[in-house]
Amino acid sequence: MGKNRLKTKQFAATKRMINPKEIAKTRKGAEKSGESEKRKNRDALTLKRVETQSAGMFGRYNSTLKPPYNVLVDTNFINFSIKNKIDLVKGMMDCLYAECVPHITDCVVAELEKLGQKYRVALRISKDPRIERLPCDHKGTYADDCICERVKAHRCYIVATCDTDLKRRIRKIPGVPIMYVGNHKYAIERLPESTQIGNS
């Protein structure tokens, strides 16, 4: 005996009619993709401007970094030094095992002045006679841009900062070491081992 099947309604399959406007759209899309491929090929043929390397660079190492080291100090590096009770010049000399000359730009001093009374100790440290003051001749007082531009122009500096954004920007510039505060002392990254005397 056969099974009783429930009969369901069957619908006829209909063909989809293509609208003439859709045909025109697909043709235009194909033409645009062809143009974009031509544009990509043209862009691939253009010359790229590459920044010239400094004469002091030997491979990825900077050979202009020699004692006495020139250390370019940032605002938050001074603040972290105060919090960790580290003397600026003595801590640098303990880190690098050589004589150091800390430099501070006018933009960094202006930034400390803007921060007000809370950072008056940092402002007093920035006016220490052992720290050399570098004049700025540009507009604005944003210290990070000032430090990056100065380091790109003259790669004889070690940048002392604890700011993660500035560190990221400095890491993109080859041959510039970064000094930072870690474990209640100064630490340095990207300095060639041959220039560090204390490593043996």
**What is the average pLDDT across 131-160?**
91
DSSP annotation string for 21-73: HHHHHHHHHHHHHHHHHHHHHHHHHSPPP-PPPPTTEETTEETT--SSEEEEE
List the domain boundaries for the chain.
61-193
d(CA 141, CA 139): 7
How many Å apart are CA 36 and CA 136, to the nearest integer?
45
102 against 64, higher pLDDT: 102
What does CATH list as the number for 61-193? 3.40.50.1010
Of how many residues is the chain composed?
200
In the chain, % of residues over pLDDT 70: 70
Going by pLDDT thresholds of 50, 70 and 90, the confidence category of residue 8 is low
Average pLDDT, the chain: 82
pLDDT in tens, 184-198: 999 999 876 644 444
Has residue 120 got a pLDDT over 50? yes
- pLDDT score of 35: 65
Q: What is the pTM of this model?
A: 0.68
Comparing CA positions, the residue from 69, 117, 110 lying closest to residue 93 is 69
- What is the arithmetic mean of pLDDT over 120-126? 94
